[in-house]
Amino acid sequence: MEKKVSIYDREGMEELRRVSRLDPQVVRGMRNRLLKRFCDDSEAVEDFPAADRLAIHCLEMFRRCDSSIDGATKLLFRTDAGMLIESVVLRIATGRTTLCVSSQVGCAAACEFCATGKMGVAQNLSSEEILDQVLQAGQLLATEDRKLRNIVFMGMGEPFHNEENLYRALELLADGELFHHPLTKILVSTVGIPDAMVRCAKRFPEVNQALSLHSVRQEVRERLIPLAKRYSLEELRQALGDLNRIQQKPVMIEYLMLAGINDTDEDAQRLIAWLDGLDVHVNLIPYNAIDDAPQLMATEQAERDAFADVLKHAGLTTTIRYSLGNDIAAACGQLVKKENRAIAAELSKEITP
């Protein structure tokens, strides 16, 4: 059987067009229907004579979990390697729709508050696997007459640990012949890898970046994000300054509010001092409990609001993230972890003599 050609493989597609003697317009039409209008597969390829040679998807939809309380949907996909990853569709009341994509299976940052970080070693997703999350979510939204507006790399994984595949995915998302998605509507969230943040800003100045800061006390940060041991707060601050100079727009600072850990008035004052002189937008994140971290508790709403007021009073643009999908986050986040452990155990049995 002839090898299939990925729809993202420019040279392969050109070769397929040539040997199949197709008009360039036929290829363009198929890609536009699929990647710009997010038509379903059969409609997208209906007048494409070499449809059986196309590799459209590399992820298999494993399960869909719809929130019963708001407009969030978690999509669980199975990779070719048999592992599960998740993407989250966030339908916001104003009609805006955001997709949160994964860049890895598991994550080496090992954050104390995150189920993904407890999965163990990370595996990188290919750029095709990143893009297929966008395509399949876009197709789902098209059936609801909704458009995908924002793409955020805030799902499973540290995007800058998969830098080349991230950058290829960004290029293909922006490509006028493919998704043609504005880079200004994409956000990459990192736990803070200073060199990579600056490299990304230089290569993709329009792409928004978010830094998961969570504390400006090194020992607290290291507790919450073990990977933070490798980078000092000073290096991170330097990187934020570089981003401001290169991008000329604010960097988002994410700050998870944890009772008794980083939410005191003194923490707010330290944060204000640390951010002084930087162009940032602080996003306070209410904490959703996970089974693996019973020691962590969310800051009460009144204290969270008071913390936000202190920051605002000091002149910092501050928002509190309205979080969607709390009911499905626990159910499915845990599920991915459990299923992936079982799959990894099976795989290790297979390779053990």
| Positions that interact with ligand SF4 (CB under 6 A) | 107, 109-111, 114, 116-117, 156-158, 191
Return the structure tokens found at 223: 């507790």
The residue with its CB nearest to ligand SF4 is 117
* CA–CA dist 240, 8 (Å, integer): 33
CB of 328 to ligand SF4, least distance (A): 17
Collapsing DSSP to helix, strand or coil, 272 comes out as helix
- Choice among 65, 107, 114, 332 that is catalytic: 332
- CB nearer ligand SF4, residue 54 or residue 85: 85
CB of 264 to ligand SF4, least distance (A): 23
Mutual angle of helices 163-174 and 194-203, in 10-degree steps: 20
- CB nearer ligand SF4, residue 138 or residue 157: 157
CB of 116 to ligand SF4, least distance (A): 4
Handedness of CA 214, 216, 222, 226 (dihedral sign): positive
- CB nearer ligand SF4, residue 67 or residue 102: 102
| Residues forming beta bridges with residue 153, ordered by sequence position | 188
Residue 128 annotated in active site = no
CB of 106 to ligand SF4, least distance (A): 8
Residues 196 and 165: beta-carbon distance below 8 Å: no
Residues 321 and 283: beta-carbon distance below 8 Å: yes
Handedness of CA 304, 307, 313, 314 (dihedral sign): negative
- CB nearer ligand SF4, residue 139 or residue 162: 162
- Choice among 86, 112, 128, 339 that is catalytic: 86
Residue 164 annotated in active site = no
The closest alpha carbon to 289, from 247, 336, 330, 238, belongs to 330
Residues forming the active site: 86, 332
